[in-house]
Amino acid sequence: MERLEYARAIYGDPEKQAVRRSLDSGWLSGGHETLAFEREFAQVMKNRFALSVNSGSSADIVALQALGLPRGSEVITPAGAAFPTTIAPMVYLGLRPVFVDVDGLLLDLKEVEKAIGPDTKAIMFAHTLGQMPDMAILTKIARDNGLRVVEDVCDAVGSTQNGKLAGTFGDMATVSLYPAHHITTGEGGMVLTNNPKLFREAGSIRDWGRDCTCTPEARGCMNRFGNPPFDHRYYYTRIGGNFKMNEMTAAFGREQLKRLEGFIELRRRNYRILAEELHEPYNPEISPFAYPIFSRHKMRDMEFLNEQGIDTRTLFAGNILRHPAFKDIDCRVVGDLSGSDKVLNEAYFVGVGPHLTPSNMLYIADKIKQCSQ
């Protein structure tokens, strides 16, 4: 029986040749390939700046830290359909998550308004499986209350709302380049922004917290010896780490980026087939990561589909606060989180990746229908 994996990395000779090209250059980190990948990625994502990092998790840490929020500041985030690496940076940075509920898979914006308090400084959330809340309403809430917005676009590269790309609404956005996502570099991520000050903050944090953010194109720091007694290249003004992407990874990513448009078209096709077969609505603006299913018999259905050769996953952490790692963190909870518990108890997903064919999708749809019989 053919196993229909929910995700599979697709790459070939162009990526392999790009890695070889990078190795042959003799420059393994922070060189031409990385800079070119950042420029090309920013252009595709309609942002002024893109900063490469070594994972989507690192992207979340760097983006949130770059906002410079005082310790103890509150950050509103959904408890439902959450992934740990959206929440963990808040804990690491001494910020206080404020958990609100979801409406289906989407951040419940009415709950967001209720959650705003005197210490609230930001909203950080993911566009789950490519689906987006009403961003006009969300950005108005943020603007009216002086809140920063960080969009986690790991599931939603290419999703749009009224023609505007995910990752262009807030102050900053993050992307994962993990093998399951829209394109991959094996491991890797990007931080996106249109704000030059935030871009500089993020760049410093990514590079050990050093003040110098000169690129290799400048052939080293342009002001190395102008700040005695410090060599400016090794002058540290922020707390940071080494979150950098290497040159081989970036070279691989540049070739993957050329495939992105085609990958998105295939994902939309596969999602649309499932939606039509299951008589559910289809939004042509989403660039889907996977297809969500709600069932009161979730585990039974997942086991049945697994036996039929169909790969499934639970919808990330469900309600993140039900997991041991997060039950005792310093946080504030707004509402009863019943929608988040519904995601935990009933939601799972099947794949729509570009490796799947129309006949694969019809087979998956048929087996999902059998689950409800």
Q: What angle do CA 27, 29, 35 make, to 5 degrees?
A: 95
Please list the alpha-helical segments (H only) found in 193-246: 196-206
pLDDT digits (tens, 9 = 90+) for 26-51: 999 989 999 999 999 999 999 999 99
Q: What is the pLDDT of residue 215?
A: 66
User: What gap in Å lies between CA 270 and CA 266, rounded to an integer?
Assistant: 6
Q: What is the pLDDT of residue 227?
A: 78
**Bond into 229 cis (ω within 30):** yes
Nearest to 283 by CA among 273, 274, 295, 272: 272
pLDDT digits (tens, 9 = 90+) for 118-169: 999 999 999 999 999 999 999 999 999 999 999 999 999 999 999 999 999 9
CB atoms within 10 A of CB 345: 15
Q: Binning pLDDT at 50, 70 and 90, where does residue 326 land?
A: very high
Segment (H or E) for 333: strand 332-333
pLDDT digits (tens, 9 = 90+) for 239-294: 999 999 999 999 999 999 999 999 999 999 999 999 999 999 999 999 999 999 99
* Active-site position among 181, 232, 279, 297: 181
**E strands, 117-195, in order:** 120-126, 148-152, 160-161, 164-165, 172-176, 189-193
Has residue 220 got a pLDDT over 70? no
Q: What is the pLDDT of residue 219?
A: 54
Q: Does residue 181 have an active-site annotation?
A: yes
51 by DSSP, 3-state: which?
Answer: strand
What single DSSP character describes residue 131? -
Structure-block tokens of residue 326: 């997060």
Domains of the chain: 13-254 (3.40.640.10), 260-371 (3.90.1150.10)
Report field, pTM of the whole predicted structure over 0.85:
yes
Q: Binning pLDDT at 50, 70 and 90, where does residue 62 land?
A: very high
